[in-house]
C-alpha cells in the first residue's frame, strides 16, 4: 500500500477512533461511577433504612405494653390479631433491619420490610415516606445487595458448595435478578415520572390520600417545569442518567433554599440509584447503546480500527519514554510493536530501596503486558535488539526481523566504568532489578559474615561500604545504607554493633549532587555526614579489586563496593551509524529524529538533544516522558498528513534527591527546598510516578511501616552466596551483558 493510501486509511480510522473514544470515555465515566460510588451509595441506603426501622423496633421493645396498645387501637390490622401483629411488626423491624444493614439474606429482609411499609401505608396513615420506603425496599428485592454485603461475599462460595439446594438456589436468584431488575427499573422510572408529571397537572390542595396513596404528589410538585421535562425523559428511558443528575441538582437547590424536609433525602436516593445504575434494558437508552455498539464494535473492547495496512511503529525499550510514546499512540491509526529485553517496566528511581532492603522488586516493577492489555493496537515482544537495518527498515532481534515505518529507540543506558570494565565484577551498578538484588545480597551477606568472624580486621573490611559517585543515586544509596546499618538492626546481631559500619561516598568532583545548586549540595553533604556517611570529594578511584579500592594512592579495605559514577548509552548510535557523544548518546535533531533518518527517533537516556534552552536534556524520567509524548505527536501528524509539529522543547520539572528518613533536597527552578518538607514532596512525587495502584499502595504501606518501626521489610539474601570456606569475599561476578538496556 502506497503512502497516500495509507494516509487515507489512517484519516478514516482516526475519525472513527475519535467518535468511539468520546463515546467510550462517557461510558467509562458512568461505568467507573457505578463500580466505585455505586456500592457506597447502596451500603449507605441500607444503613439508613435499616437504622430507621431498627430504632422504631427498639422504642417499641422499650415499652412493650404501649406497643400492644397501639397495635390494638391506634393502627389495627383487620386481618391479624393485635398481639400477633405487634410481634410480627417488631420482628420485621428488628431482624429485617439488621439483615438489610449487613447485607445478609437481603432480598428476604427487604421483602418483609416492603410488605410492612405497604401495610402501614394502607392500614394506618398514608404518608409519602411510606411510599419511598416501599420503592427503595423493592430495589433490593429486585437486585439484592451490592458488592459491600455478606451476600456478595458468600455468593460464589455458596454456589460452588455441597450444601443442599445451594447451586439451584443460586441459579434461581441469578435468573430472578436477570428478569426482575430491568422490570423494576422500568417501574421505578415510571413511578417517579408519574409523580413528577402528575403533580404538574393535578391540583395538589388536599392530603396525599386523595391520590389513592400511590404517588408522592405533594413533594413532586416542588420540581416545577424542569422536573416535568426530566420526568418525561425518565419515563421514556432517554438520557436517563443526565435527567437523574439534573433532578439531583434541583433537589439540592430546593433543600438549600427552603426548610429542610426529610423527603428530599428519599428523592436524592432514588435519583442517585438511577444516575449510577442507569435505566436498565427496557429503555430507549439501552436500544441506542446497542445500536452504537453495532456501529462501533470497539465499545465492546473490539479494535477501534483494522490494523491491516496501517503504518507500523516499532518502539524499542519499555522505560518511561517508550511506554509514554506507546500510550500516546492509543487512538492513532498505527500498529505499535513494543520490544523490551525484560517483561516488566522498572521504576529505576526507587531501585536503590530494593538494594537496601526497604522495598521488594515487585513494588518497583510492573509487567508490560498488563500495562498494554487494554491498548489493542500495541503488541509486546520480549527480546534483546541486536541491531537495526535502516536501509530495509527492520529491527533485528537475533535472526528475527521486525519491519517498521517509524522507529523509536528508547533503550536507556547502562553502567559506565570509563574503560575499566574489569571493575564491574567488584563494584556492581544499579540499573536493573538483578543489580538491586545482587547489591542487597552483598550488603546483607556482609553483615552475616561479620557476625561469623572473630578477626577484627576482617570484620572492619566487611562492615565498610564504599559508593563511588555522588550523584542522586550515590547520595540516596549512601544514606539508605547508613540508615540500614544504624537503625532497625541493633538487636539482630550479637558479636558486633551494626551501627559501627562505615559508609564512604567517593566523588571525583568538588561536591556531591553537582547538578544541584551549591547551597543544596552543601545541605545534602551535611545531612549525609549527620547520618555518619564519610564524604570524600575531590577523590579519584584508581583501582578496585575484591579487597577494596585505591583512592588518591591510599587503599581502603572494603568487601562491598558499589558503582554510581556514570552511565553510558545503549549501542543505538552504533546500530544506526549515527554521531554520538562521549557517553554514547545518539545525537538527534530538533524533532528528536536521527539526522538522515527522518522516520527514526531516539529519546531518553539514549539520545542527545539540546532542547533545554540549548543545553543537553538530562537523563531524567520526566524528560523521557516528555520526549515520548512529543514523538507520538510527530508520528501522528505525519500519519494523518498534517503540518509538522514545532520543535521539541524540554520543560524542566526539577531535581530531587533524598538523604535518609526525613531529609531531602528539591530544586524546582528558583524554588529550592530541603529538610522534612522536601522529603515529603519527594515521597509524594515518587509515589505519583509509580505505575499501578497496587504498587503505590504497597510502597506507601512499606514506607509508613519502616518509618514508624525502623524496620525494613525485605531483608532476604537471594542468589548464589559463596561459602566462607570457598571465598573470603562477599563479592561475586555480576553477569551484566553489554548489549542494550531496554528498561
Give me the active site residues, please.
476
Answer yes or no: are the C-beta atoms of 141 and 100 closer than 8 Å: no
Q: CB count, 10 Å around CB of 153? A: 14
Sign of CA dihedral 626, 628, 631, 635: negative
**Distance between CA atoms of 695 and 705, rounded to whole angstroms?**
15
Cell of 56: 422504631
Neighbours of 527 (CB within 10 A): 24
Beta-sheet pairing, 586-587 with 607-608: parallel
CB 459 within 8 A of CB 468: no
- DSSP class of residue 612 equals B
Alpha-carbon span 599 to 593, nearest angstrom: 7
Query: What is d(CA 461, CA 548) in angstroms, rounded to the nearest whole number?
Result: 8
Nearest in space to 114 (alpha carbons), one of 89, 97, 137: 137
φ and ψ at residue 169, rounded to 5 degrees: -60, -40
The SS3 of residue 414 is strand
Helix (H) or strand (E) holding 667, with range, is strand 664-668
User: Cα dihedral angle (528, 531, 534, 535), rounded to 10 degrees?
Assistant: 0
Residue 437 grid coordinates: 538484588
Q: Which residue has the cell 426529610?
A: 262
Give the number of residues written for the chain: 743
Cα 334 from Cα 556, distance rounded (Å):
56
Q: In what order do the strands lie in the sheet with 655-658?
A: 655-658, 664-668, 671-675
User: Minimal CA–CA distance to 412: which of 619, 578, 686?
Assistant: 619
- DSSP class per residue in 383-407: ----EEETTTTEEEETTEEEE-SEE
Written as nine digits, the cell of 686 is 515518587
**SS3 state of residue 343:** coil
CA distances (Å), origin 83, targets 68, 119, 199, 330, 660: 6, 16, 39, 69, 72
First to last CA, the chain: 34
CA distance 650 to 590: 11
Smallest CA-to-CA distance from 313 within 725, 675, 633, 697 is with 633
Percentage helix, strand, coil for the chain under 3-state DSSP, each rounded to 5: 50, 15, 35
Whether the CB-CB separation of 603 and 617 falls below 8 Å is answered with: no
Helix axes 128-143, 106-123, angle to 10 degrees: 160
Q: What are phi and psi of 145, to 5 degrees?
A: -75, 160
Three-state SS sequence of 543-591: EEECCEEEECCEEEECCEEEECCCEEECCHHHHHCCCECCCCCEECCCC
Amino acid at each position: 500500500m502506497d503512502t497516500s493510501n495509507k494516509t487515507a486509511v489512517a484519516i478514516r480510522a482516526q475519525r472513527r477512533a475519535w467518535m468511539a473514544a468520546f463515546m467510550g470515555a462517557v461510558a467509562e465515566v458512568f461505568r467507573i461511577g457505578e463500580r466505585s460510588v455505586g456500592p457506597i451509595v447502596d451500603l449507605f441506603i441500607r444503613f439508613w433504612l435499616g437504622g430507621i426501622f431498627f430504632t422504631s423496633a427498639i422504642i417499641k421493645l422499650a415499652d412493650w405494653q404501649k406497643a400492644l396498645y397501639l397495635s390494638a387501637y391506634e393502627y389495627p390490622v383487620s386481618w391479624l390479631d393485635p398481639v400477633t401483629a405487634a410481634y410480627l411488626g417488631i420482628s420485621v423491624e428488628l431482624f429485617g433491619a439488621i439483615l438489610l444493614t449487613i447485607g445478609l439474606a437481603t432480598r428476604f429482609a427487604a421483602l418483609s420490610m416492603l410488605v410492612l411499609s405497604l401495610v402501614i401505608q394502607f392500614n394506618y396513615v398514608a404518608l409519602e415516606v411510606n411510599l419511598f420506603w416501599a420503592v427503595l425496599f423493592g430495589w433490593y428485592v429486585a437486585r439484592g445487595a451490592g458488592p459491600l454485603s455478606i451476600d456478595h461475599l458468600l455468593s460464589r462460595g455458596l454456589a460452588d458448595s455441597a450444601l443442599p439446594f445451594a447451586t439451584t438456589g443460586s441459579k434461581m436468584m441469578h435468573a430472578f435478578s436477570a428478569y426482575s431488575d430491568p422490570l423494576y427499573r422500568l417501574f421505578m422510572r415510571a413511578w417517579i415520572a408519574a409523580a413528577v408529571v402528575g403533580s404538574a397537572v393535578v391540583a395538589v390542595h388536599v392530603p396525599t390520600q386523595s391520590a389513592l396513596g400511590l404517588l408522592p404528589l405533594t413533594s413532586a410538585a416542588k420540581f416545577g417545569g424542569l422536573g416535568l421535562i426530566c420526568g418525561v425523559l425518565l419515563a421514556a428511558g432517554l438520557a436517563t442518567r443526565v435527567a437523574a443528575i439534573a433532578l439531583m441538582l434541583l433537589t439540592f437547590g430546593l433543600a438549600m433554599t427552603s426548610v429542610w424536609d426529610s423527603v428530599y433525602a428519599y428523592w436524592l436516593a432514588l435519583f442517585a440509584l438511577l444516575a449510577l445504575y442507569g435505566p436498565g434494558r427496557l429503555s430507549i437508552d439501552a436500544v441506542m447503546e446497542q445500536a452504537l455498539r453495532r456501529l462501533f464494535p470497539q465499545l465492546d473492547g473490539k479494535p477501534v480500527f483494522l490494523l491491516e495496512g496501517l503504518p507500523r511503529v516499532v518502539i524499542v525499550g519499555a522505560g518511561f519514554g517508550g511506554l509514554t510514546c506507546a500510550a500516546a499512540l492509543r487512538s492513532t491509526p498505527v500498529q505499535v510493536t513494543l520490544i523490551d529485553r525484560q517483561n516488566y517496566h522498572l521504576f529505576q528511581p526507587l531501585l536503590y530501596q530494593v538494594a537496601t532492603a526497604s522495598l521488594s522488586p515487585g513494588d518497583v516493577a510492573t509487567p508490560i503486558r498488563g500495562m498494554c492489555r487494554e491498548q489493542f493496537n500495541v503488541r509486546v515482544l520480549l527480546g534483546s535488539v541486536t541491531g537495526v537495518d535502516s536501509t530495509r527498515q527492520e529491527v533485528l532481534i537475533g535472526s528475527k526481523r521486525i519491519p517498521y515505518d517509524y522507529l523509536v529507540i528508547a533503550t536507556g543506558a547502562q553502567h559506565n566504568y570509563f574503560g575499566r570494565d574489569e571493575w564491574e565484577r567488584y563494584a556492581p551498578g544499579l540499573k536493573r532489578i538483578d543489580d538491586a538484588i545482587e547489591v542487597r545480597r552483598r550488603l546483607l551477606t556482609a553483615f552475616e559474615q561479620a557476625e561469623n568472624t572473630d578477626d577484627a580486621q576482617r570484620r572492619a573490611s566487611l562492615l565498610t561500604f564504599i559508593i563511588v559517585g555522588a550523584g542522586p543515586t550515590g547520595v540516596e544509596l549512601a544514606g539508605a545504607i547508613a540508615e540500614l546499618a544504624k537503625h532497625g538492626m541493633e538487636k539482630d546481631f550479637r558479636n558486633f554493633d551494626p551501627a559501627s559500619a562505615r559508609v564512604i561516598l567517593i566523588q571525583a568532583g568538588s561536591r556531591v549532587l553537582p547538578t544541584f545548586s551549591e547551597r543544596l549540595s552543601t545541605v545534602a553533604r551535611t545531612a549525609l555526614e549527620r547520618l555518619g556517611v564519610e564524604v570524600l570529594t575531590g577523590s579519584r578511584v584508581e583501582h578496585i579489586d575484591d579487597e577494596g579500592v585505591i583512592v588518591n594512592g591510599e587503599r581502603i579495605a572494603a568487601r562491598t563496593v558499589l558503582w554510581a559514577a556514570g552511565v553510558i548509552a545503549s549501542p543505538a548510535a552504533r546500530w544506526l551509524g549515527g554521531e554520538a557523544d562521549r557517553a554514547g548518546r545518539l545525537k538527534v535533531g530538533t524533532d528528536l529524529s536521527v539526522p538522515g533518518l527522518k522516520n527514526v527517533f531516539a529519546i531518553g537516556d539514549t539520545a542527545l538533544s539540546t532542547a533545554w534552552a540549548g543545553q543537553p536534556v538530562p537523563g531524567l524520567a520526566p524528560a523521557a516522558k516528555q520526549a515520548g509524548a512529543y514523538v507520538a505527536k510527530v508520528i501522528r501528524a505525519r500519519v494523518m498528513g498534517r503540518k509538522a509539529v514545532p520543535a521539541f522543547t524540554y520543560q524542566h520539572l526539577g531535581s530531587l534527591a533524598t538523604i535518609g528518613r526525613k531529609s531531602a533536597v528539591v530544586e524546582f527552578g528558583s524554588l529550592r527546598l530541603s529538610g522534612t518538607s522536601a522529603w515529603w514532596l519527594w515521597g509524594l512525587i515518587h509515589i505519583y510516578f509509580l505505575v499501578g495502584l497496587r504498587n503505590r499502595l504497597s510502597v506507601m504501606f512499606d514506607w509508613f511501616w519502616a518509618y514508624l518501626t525502623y524496620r525494613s521489610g525485605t531483608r532476604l539474601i537471594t542468589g548464589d552466596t559463596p561459602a566462607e570456606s570457598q571465598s573470603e569475599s562477599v563479592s561475586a561476578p555480576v553477569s551484566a551483558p553489554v548489549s542494550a538496556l531496554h528498561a
